[in-house]
A and B are shown apart, each in its own frame.
Chain A
Amino acid sequence: MQTATTAAPAVAVRGLRKTYPGGVEAVRGIDFDVAAGEVFGLLGPNGAGKSTTIGMLTTTIAPTAGSAWLAGHDVIAEPLRARGVSSVVFQDPVVDRGLSVRANIELHARLWGVPAAEAHARIGELSGRLGLTALLDRPAGSTSGGERRRVEIARALVSRPSVLFLDEPTVGLDPRMRHELLDVIAGLRARAEMTVLLTTHYLDEAQRLCDRIAIMNAGEIVALDTPQALLADVGTEILELRVEGDPVNALALLRADGVAGAGAFAIGARLTLPLHDRPAAAALAAVQRSGVRPTDIGTRAPTLDDVYLQLTGDRLRDAA
């Protein structure tokens, strides 16, 4: 598991923990670093601790224990400086609906100390890049969900943050808007302007955008690596079969026959067998020779859902 980078990280987290009143442990002591310029994903279902982690890093949630730094500034000892080098796009829409789009962005610029002339130029540049020029003088409350999210991104970027937090940025958007927004975020990545810490429970977002992903489950990081390395752990191809009767027995039988390796798992009646370097045809033939009689069988490419399943016994999609 990769936790540290050699150069000074843009985000550093050590033993971060959050226990809410009543004993709910939302984050159970996590450690990770994010290199400057990296796009880092926190992937996990609802309740995994992703938003709580973001909250602690952005000083809107007080950690119970542990430390964190943004661009070298301790979020607990130097909260103002830490906030000064970062911006957040929240999961829920957070705009002053009664103010114009321009006023919302200008407010952020002034509070982050951006000089007026620079802010004006920056708003012009960002509104062009994000397709907001025609919306600038409209009330923010009159914008659609996708437009509002682009407004929030423009607002977050106007101060040129060193660290940008995107908390479930595409939740609640229709597929077309999601796709457009992912293009926008990918564009930020391409320009390598800043470090991005993204939380999501969408696998395609994480795979498409992130240089490295930390998979969170029940307040802990259960895996942290590049998407390619995480997927490599479950092989290049997956053999999936549905069985009647006891799937645990079926899996044991396949293991005894050498068809299923240590990484194979059963969820309900469905067995998932990472093939690694084994050809699919050979695996299919081996299943036919075993005593297992699947009702459905096929192969597919592995996804991060399989990684999550293998680590936690649960599905990212279903748990979300």
Chain B
Amino acid sequence: MATTAVGAPVPAGVRPAPRVRPASALATLARRRVALTARTPRQIAVPLLGPLLLALVAAPALDAATGGLGSQIDYAAFIDVGTISLLIPLSCIFAGLSVIVDRHGGAQRELLTAPVPRAYLVLGNLAVAGVLALLQVVVLLALAALRGADLAISASSIGWFAGATVLFILFMYGLAETLAGRIEKEEDYLGAVPAVAILPFFFAGALFPIGAMPAALTFVAKLLPLTHALALMRYALVDPAGSGLHDIWGMSDPTTEAWLSLGVVALVAAVLLALAIRSFTRAAVR
């Protein structure tokens, strides 16, 4: 390990080290990411395509074909919210891809020599990825509402929905950034999409309540943070009785169940973000 010695005297005439304000550094890094993202519109459009098709075409078709869930929940709206569990992972995976592109052909090496904490490079990208994902969610739900989805909007429902969605974005981006820090090649990174985005989409209850699956799979679903995020989003917009939360926790009070699921998603988000920052800084410094 390198030893720390007494500081050497500063040479005469040398300018002092600049003090860069954190907000300024983060804003600069986020602006950079916005400018680069704007030049790759596929990053904005491609993650939306599948979920939009599901929400606008498949959801009402499945509702008509199956006759719904046999409850008061609008099945088409149930699926509309479920497609968010595909949209956000895809959006975050695309955002994480840009980290690999930066590493191979962009200015990451230059950024690593900047007098800002290296965690800011992750947070700057996260801010942009998060805003982009949120905008995509809003577009999806707006189009679903135009299609006729029955969404229950209130101040508290917006609060629950926003909390669940933001935490979901944080943990998905944390996962994407962690993978980008550990996987060298873009093609290998994209190979993780089925495991990260597609499989959880099916197991977390995106298209049907988790209780409809065999008991063993239902148990697995309860362990997925995505299941908790999805149940919270539905509790906010389409399932005020909290049946999805009840499938997870089995309690009588949906509000308590909602706080528990929020805690799970928040904990996973914190862990994955910390892991993402650690993965990035370790990969950045040899």
- List, in ascending order, chain B residues with CB within 8 A of A85's CB: 14-17
Q: Which of B2-10, B51-59, B205-213, B250-258 contacts A (4 or more CB under 8 A)?
A: B2-10
Known: A77-B4, A98-B39, A99-B36. A108 touches B18 (CB 8 A): no
Interface size on A, residues (CB 8 A): 58
> Are A36's CB and B11's CB within 8 A?
yes
> Are B7's CB and A72's CB within 8 A?
yes
Residue of B nearest to A107 (CB): B32
> Are A97's CB and B105's CB within 8 A?
yes
> Are B115's CB and A80's CB within 8 A?
yes
> Are B3's CB and A36's CB within 8 A?
no
Once the chains are docked, how many angstroms separate the CA of A83 from the CA of B285? 14
> Are A72's CB and B8's CB within 8 A?
yes
- List, in ascending order, chain B residues with CB within 8 A of A8's CB: 8-12
In the assembled complex, the CB of A248 is this many whole angstroms from the nearest CB of chain B, namely: 42
Q: With an 8 A cutoff between CB atoms, is B112 at the interface?
A: yes
- List, in ascending order, chain A residues with CB within 8 A of B12's CB: 7-8, 36
> Are B4's CB and A88's CB within 8 A?
no
> Are A87's CB and B11's CB within 8 A?
no
Q: Which of A58-66, A205-213, A263-271, A308-316 contacts B (4 or more CB under 8 A)?
A: A58-66
- List, in ascending order, chain B residues with CB within 8 A of A98's CB: 35-36, 39-40
> Are B115's CB and A62's CB within 8 A?
no
In the assembled complex, the CB of B79 is this many whole angstroms from the nearest CB of chain A, namely: 37
> Are A64's CB and B107's CB within 8 A?
no
Known: A60-B286, A96-B106. A111 touches B25 (CB 8 A): yes
Once the chains are docked, how many angstroms separate the CA of A77 from the CA of B2? 10
**Interface positions of A from 77 to 132, Cβ below 8 Å from B:** 77-78, 80-88, 90, 92, 94-99, 103-104, 107-108, 110-114
Known: A111-B28, A113-B19. A103 touches B14 (CB 8 A): no
Once the chains are docked, how many angstroms separate the CA of A82 from the CA of B116? 11
Residue of A nearest to B6 (CB): A74
The residue from B4, B107, B115 contacting A104, defined by CB atoms under 8 A apart: B107
Q: With an 8 A cutoff between CB atoms, is B155 at the interface?
A: no
Q: Identify the interface centre among B25, B36, B286: most chain A CB within 10 Å of its CB.
A: B286
- List, in ascending order, chain A residues with CB within 8 A of B110's CB: 88, 90, 94-95, 108, 155
- List, in ascending order, chain B residues with CB within 8 A of A67's CB: 2-5
Q: With an 8 A cutoff between CB atoms, is B1 at the interface?
A: yes
> Are A162's CB and B15's CB within 8 A?
yes
Known: A72-B9, A98-B39, A99-B35. 9 other contacts (CB 8 A): A60-B284, A61-B286, A62-B286, A72-B8, A73-B17, A95-B110, A99-B32, A111-B111, A112-B20
